[in-house]
Structure 1
Amino acid sequence: MEYVVARIGRPHGVRGEVTVEVRTDDPDERFVPGAVLRTDPAAGQLTVAGARWHNGTLLLTFREVADRTAVEALRDTLLLVDIDEEAQEDDDAWYPHQLRGMAAVTITGTPLGTVADLLTGSAQDVLVVTGTDGREVLVPFVRALVPTVDVRRRKVVLAPPGGLFAELPGDEG
C-alpha cells in the first residue's frame, strides 16, 4: 500500500533545493540521503540527495533534479512510499487508512460514530469522526481524549468532554 509522506512545495534557492510539506511523523528518518520516493503525479522516482531544516521547514534535494527550473516543475507533487503493515513495529502508531471506518465509542462502550479521517497537523493530529447524528466532530488525537486504538477490533475508544457529541450532553449550569 502507498502512503503520502510529503508534498513538494516551492523551490528554495537556485541549486535544486525544494521545500516540502511533511506528512510523516518521523521526517528525519524518512528523508535520509539515498531514500527512494515515488511521485504522484508520476514524475519518476526521486532519490533524496540531501535534507536539512531551515526555519522550521524541511528542504530536500534530489539526485535526479539539478536546478531551480527542474524543481519548479515538481511543485505540488506528492512523495510516496510503500508500507508493509506486517512490518509495522510501533504499537502506538497508525496510518490514516487503518483508522478510517473504525467504530468510535466511549470508554463505557456508548457508540459515538465512525472515524472518517485523520488530519495531520504541525502541533497534533486530529481524528475526524462522523457522529451518529451525522455531524462531523474533530477530536484532537491525544492520549487524554483517545486512550485506546484497537486495530484488530476496528475500534477507537474516546474520552471526549461533554457536549462534543450528541450522545454526551454538556453541562447545563
Structure 2
Amino acid sequence: MSAPADRIMIARIGAPHGVRGEVRVKPYGDDPLSFADYGLLETRDGSRRLEVISARVQKSVVVTRFKGVDDRNAAEALNGEDLFVARDALPDLDEDDTFYHADLLGLTAVDVDGTVLGTVIALPDFGAGTLVEIKPETAASYFVPFTQACVPDIDLGAGRITIVPPPAYEDEDGETDEDETSTPAAD
C-alpha cells in the first residue's frame, strides 16, 4: 500500500447500477473516463485493488464494472469507497495555473497583505464551480470562489495561496453586510 501522500484520489464509488455488479462512479478530473486508464485503483485503506473492466458515461456519473464485482451485493459493498492512484502515475502538469487539488489542501491562505486567513481544507464543487474552503484557526470555515479574481496567486513552494474575498454583499435595502463577503460552511 502506498503512503497517502504518494497517492491521489481520482474517483468515488457510488450506488450500484443494476444487478450485474456495475456501480456509479464520480470521477475527479477533466476527462470523466480517465480514471479507467491508470490500471489498478486502490481503496483509501489499501485493502482492495480494483481493475476497471468497462466504463461508460451516463449523465453525471460513469457506470463502471470492476473485475470480480459480479452482482449487486458485491457492488453495494463498494458504495462510498474512494479510489486512489499512485501520484507518479498521473501526468505532469504543464500549465502554470493548473494544479491537482491534493496539492492545494493544507496550504496557508493569506490575504494580499500576507495576513494569515486560515488553511485550505477542501475544494468542493457543488455544481456552480469550484470553491476554496478555508478554516481559520478559531472560527468556522468559509468558502470563496476558486477564480482568478478571488485566488490570484498560488505558491506551492512557499505553501500559500492568496485570497481576495469577493466584495461585500448588498441586500435589497442597500445595506452592506460585511459578514457576507463569503459563504460560511455548514458545521
Category of TM-score, reference length = shorter chain: 0.7 to 0.9
Task: Report the Cα distance in structure 1 between the residues aligned to 2:89 and 2:137, rounded to whole angstroms.
Answer: 30
Question: Corresponding residue for 2:39?
Answer: 35
Structure 1 residue 113, shift from structure 2 partner: 1.1
Letter in 2 for 1:94: F
1:60-75 superposed matches below 5 A: 60-75=64-79
Q: What percent identity do the matched residue pairs reach?
A: 32
**Larger fraction in strand:** 1
1:82-97 superposed matches below 5 A: 82-84=86-88, 88-90=92-94, 91-97=96-102
1:49-74 superposed Cα distances (whole Å, 9 cap, x missing partner): 11111122211111222222221222
- TM-score, with structure 2 as normaliser: 0.72
User: How many aligned positions are there?
Assistant: 165
Letter in 2 for 1:139: V
Q: Which runs of 5+ in 2 are unaligned?
A: 1-5, 170-176, 179-187
* Structure 1 range deviating more: 45-54 or 152-161: 152-161
Contact 2:27 2:33 in 1 (8 A): no
Question: Corresponding residue for 1:101?
Answer: 106
Letter in 1 for 2:73: T
**Structural RMSD (CA):** 2.9
Question: Corresponding residue for 1:149?
Answer: 154
Question: Corresponding residue for 1:81?
Answer: 85
Closer, same or farther: CA 27–35 of 1 in aligned 2, 3 Å: farther
Structure 1 residue 161, shift from structure 2 partner: 2.3
- TM-score, with structure 1 as normaliser: 0.77
Closer, same or farther: CA 85–136 of 1 in aligned 2, 3 Å: farther
Question: Corresponding residue for 1:114?
Answer: 118
1:95-133 superposed Cα distances (whole Å, 9 cap, x missing partner): 3443233232333x2414122312332442221123476
Question: Corresponding residue for 1:6?
Answer: 11
Structure 1 residue 86, shift from structure 2 partner: 9.9
Letter in 1 for 2:110: V
Task: Report the Cα distance in structure 2 between the residues aligned to 1:103 and 1:35, rounded to whole angstroms.
Answer: 34
Task: Report the Cα distance in structure 1 between the residues aligned to 2:60 and 2:90, rounded to whole angstroms.
Answer: 33
